[in-house]
Chains A and B, each alone.
Chain A
Amino acid sequence: MPEMTYAEAIRAALREEMARDERVFLFGEDIGRYGGAFGVTFGLLDEFGPERVRETPISEAAIVGAATGAALAGMRPVAEMMFMDFILLGMEQLVNQAAKARFMFGGKATVPMVIRMPGGSGSGAAAQHSQSLESLLIHIPGIKVVNPSTPYDVKGLLISAIRDPNPVCFVEHKLLYKTKGQVPEEEYTIPIGLADVKRDGFDITVVAGNVMVPRVLKVAKKLAQEGIEVEVVDPRTLRPLDVETIASSVRKTGRLLVVHEACQTGGWAGEVMASIASTPAFDYLDAPMRRLAGADVPIPYNRNLERAAVPQEEDIEREIRAIIANEY
Chain B
Amino acid sequence: MRTMSEKVEKQNIQTQLERLNLNADQLIEMYATMCSIRRFEQMADRLYASGKVHGTMHLSAGQEAVAVGAARAMRPNDYLLNHHRGHGHFIAKGADVKRMMAEFLGKDTGYCRGRGGSMHIADVESNNLGANGIVGGGISLAVGVGLAVQMQRKPEIVLSIFGDGAVNEGIFHESLNMAALWDLPVLFLCENNQYAMSMPITRATAKLPIAEKAGAYGMPGYHVDGNDVLQVYEVISQAAEHVRQGDGPVLVEAVTYRYFGHSKSDRNLYRSEDEIDEWKKNDPIIRFRQNLIEGQILDVQQAEKIDLEAQELIDEAVAYAEASPEPEIDTLTEYVYA
Could you tell me which A residues sit within 8 Å of B by CB distance? 25, 51, 54, 56-57, 59, 61-62, 64-75, 77, 92-93, 96-97, 101-110, 112, 141-142, 144, 165-166
Determine if A104 and B120 form an interchain contact, defined as CB atoms under 8 angstroms apart.
Answer: yes
The yes or no answer to B141 lying at the interface (CB within 8 A) is: yes
Determine if A73 and B79 form an interchain contact, defined as CB atoms under 8 angstroms apart.
Answer: yes
Which listed residue (A72, A112, A141, A166) contacts B144, Cβ 8 A?
Answer: A72
Determine if B137 and A97 form an interchain contact, defined as CB atoms under 8 angstroms apart.
Answer: yes
The yes or no answer to B222 lying at the interface (CB within 8 A) is: no
Contacts A51-B151, A92-B171, A97-B137 given: A105-B142 contact, CB under 8 Å?
A: no
Contacts A93-B140, A96-B137, A108-B122 given: A62-B171 contact, CB under 8 Å?
A: yes
A residues in contact with B143, CB < 8 Å = 62, 65-66, 69
Determine if B178 and A69 form an interchain contact, defined as CB atoms under 8 angstroms apart.
Answer: no
Nearest residue (CB) in B for A89 is B170
A96 to B114, CA, bound (A): 18
Determine if B170 and A61 form an interchain contact, defined as CB atoms under 8 angstroms apart.
Answer: yes
A254 to B139, CA, bound (A): 52
Determine if A106 and B144 form an interchain contact, defined as CB atoms under 8 angstroms apart.
Answer: no
Nearest residue (CB) in B for A51 is B151
Pick the 4 closest A-B CB pairs, nearest first.
Answer: A69-B144, A65-B140, A66-B144, A73-B148
Determine if B170 and A166 form an interchain contact, defined as CB atoms under 8 angstroms apart.
Answer: no
A143 to B242, CA, bound (A): 37
B residues in contact with A72, CB < 8 Å = 124, 129, 141, 144-145, 148
Determine if B174 and A104 form an interchain contact, defined as CB atoms under 8 angstroms apart.
Answer: no
Min CB distance, B318 to chain A, in Å? 20
With most chain B CB atoms within 10 A of its CB, the pick from A77, A102, A108 is A108
Which listed residue (B125, B129, B175) contacts A62, Cβ 8 A?
Answer: B175
Interface residues of B in 9-61 (CB under 8 A from A): none
Nearest residue (CB) in A for B116 is A104
Nearest residue (CB) in B for A75 is B148
With most chain A CB atoms within 10 A of its CB, the pick from B146, B177, B338 is B338
Contacts A72-B141, A72-B145, A73-B148 given: A165-B122 contact, CB under 8 Å?
A: no
A103 to B117, CA, bound (A): 12
A residues in contact with B110, CB < 8 Å = 106
Determine if B178 and A56 form an interchain contact, defined as CB atoms under 8 angstroms apart.
Answer: yes
Min CB distance, B257 to chain A, in Å? 28
A72 to B147, CA, bound (A): 11
Min CB distance, B23 to chain A, in Å? 33
Contacts A66-B147, A141-B336 given: A108-B171 contact, CB under 8 Å?
A: no
The yes or no answer to B65 lying at the interface (CB within 8 A) is: no
A165 to B122, CA, bound (A): 19
Contacts A69-B144, A108-B122 given: A142-B170 contact, CB under 8 Å?
A: no
Which listed residue (A61, A69, A96, A104) contacts B148, Cβ 8 A?
Answer: A69
Min CB distance, A253 to chain B, in Å? 32
Could you tell me which B residues sit within 8 Å of A by CB distance? 79, 81, 110-116, 120, 122-125, 129-130, 132-134, 137, 139-149, 151-152, 170-171, 174-175, 177-178, 181, 334-338
A165 to B123, CA, bound (A): 19
Which listed residue (A25, A109, A165, A166) contacts B129, Cβ 8 A?
Answer: A109
5 additional contacts, CB 8 Å, given A69-B145, A69-B146, A104-B130?
A: A61-B174, A62-B171, A65-B143, A66-B175, A73-B79
Nearest residue (CB) in A for B176 is A62
Determine if B145 and A142 form an interchain contact, defined as CB atoms under 8 angstroms apart.
Answer: no
Listed by A's residue number, 17 A-B pairs whose Cβ atoms lie within 8 Å are A51-B151, A59-B177, A61-B140, A65-B141, A65-B143, A68-B141, A69-B142, A71-B144, A72-B145, A97-B134, A97-B141, A102-B336, A106-B111, A106-B113, A106-B335, A112-B338, A142-B336
Min CB distance, B103 to chain A, in Å? 8
Determine if B337 and A74 form an interchain contact, defined as CB atoms under 8 angstroms apart.
Answer: no
Determine if A59 and B338 form an interchain contact, defined as CB atoms under 8 angstroms apart.
Answer: no
Determine if B130 and A65 form an interchain contact, defined as CB atoms under 8 angstroms apart.
Answer: no
B residues in contact with A56, CB < 8 Å = 178
A101 to B140, CA, bound (A): 14
A93 to B140, CA, bound (A): 8
Nearest residue (CB) in B for A108 is B124
A109 to B81, CA, bound (A): 13
Determine if A96 and B133 form an interchain contact, defined as CB atoms under 8 angstroms apart.
Answer: yes
With most chain B CB atoms within 10 A of its CB, the pick from A102, A105, A110 is A105
A residues in contact with B123, CB < 8 Å = 108
Nearest residue (CB) in A for B337 is A166
A156 to B36, CA, bound (A): 53
A residues in contact with B175, CB < 8 Å = 62, 65-66
